[in-house]
Amino acid sequence: MARPSNTETRREEIVLGLQRAMAERGYEKASIAAIAEAAALTPGLVHYHFDSKQEILLALLDRLARIWRGRAAALNPASPRERLSALLDAWLAVDGSSDRDAVACWVALGAEAIRQPEVRAPYERAVRAAHAELEDAVHGCLAAEGRATGASPLIAAGLMAAISGYMQLGVATSEVIAAGTAAPTVRAMAFGVIDAQPSAAPSEKGKR
């Protein structure tokens, strides 16, 4: 496997510098100087590799989306329920791999998506991709258990909202969310809703 180029390495260091600076002081106050300091580089190098702070932000968004896509792709579940559980764990990181800075930046990216149209489009794509994967997993659970699958999109949307809410509270408070409780609670919510779905009509069984 080819080694990353010096340019790729520098760009990654700068993106991680924004992640650290942004998690500590927010996007607005994460100046180029602050990013450079967090990356242990000079501001001139930051300007050399990126045309603007927004370009670094977009690269950070892509990096975070790739992390969660990678976690999902690494799953090897034995059943539909295990797949859904593993997807929720991949987002909420019960395996101890959770990076508080990364979570804080993901939450902040949602706010920047409201303010910056250039950020909104890729942010929406990342969220839609995650929603689609959750929807497919929920559909798989319902279909495997002979339940009606029509509510799959709504259930997946509710799970995305729960994940986002836990992330928001997790980085904004230190007492509301007890450590290690997010994933089990969201799993319980998911399977409670799945168990409440009616049996599929005979005409629906076997359909995707």
Position 89 pLDDT exceeds 90: no
Query: CA-to-CA distance for 190 and 195, rounded, in angstroms?
Result: 9
Give 206's pLDDT tier (boundaries 50, 70, 90).
Answer: low
CATH class of the region 57-195: mainly alpha
Q: What is the pLDDT of residue 96?
A: 46
Give 71's pLDDT tier (boundaries 50, 70, 90).
Answer: confident
Highest mean pLDDT among 4-8, 119-123, 203-207: 119-123
Query: CA-to-CA distance for 20 and 155, rounded, in angstroms?
Result: 34
Q: What is the pLDDT of residue 172?
A: 77
The residues, ordered by sequence, that sit 6+ positions from 16 with a Cβ below 8 Å of its Cβ are 38, 39
Q: Which CATH number fits domain 1-50: 3.40.50.10950, 3.40.50.300, 1.10.10.60, 3.30.930.10?
A: 1.10.10.60
Position 81 pLDDT exceeds 90: yes
Chain segment 28-53, per-residue pLDDT in tens: 999 999 999 999 999 999 999 999 99
Chain segment 143-200, per-residue pLDDT in tens: 999 999 999 999 999 999 999 998 888 777 766 777 778 889 999 999 999 999 999 8
Going from N- to C-terminal start, the domains of the chain cover 1-50, 57-195
Averaged pLDDT of the chain = 88
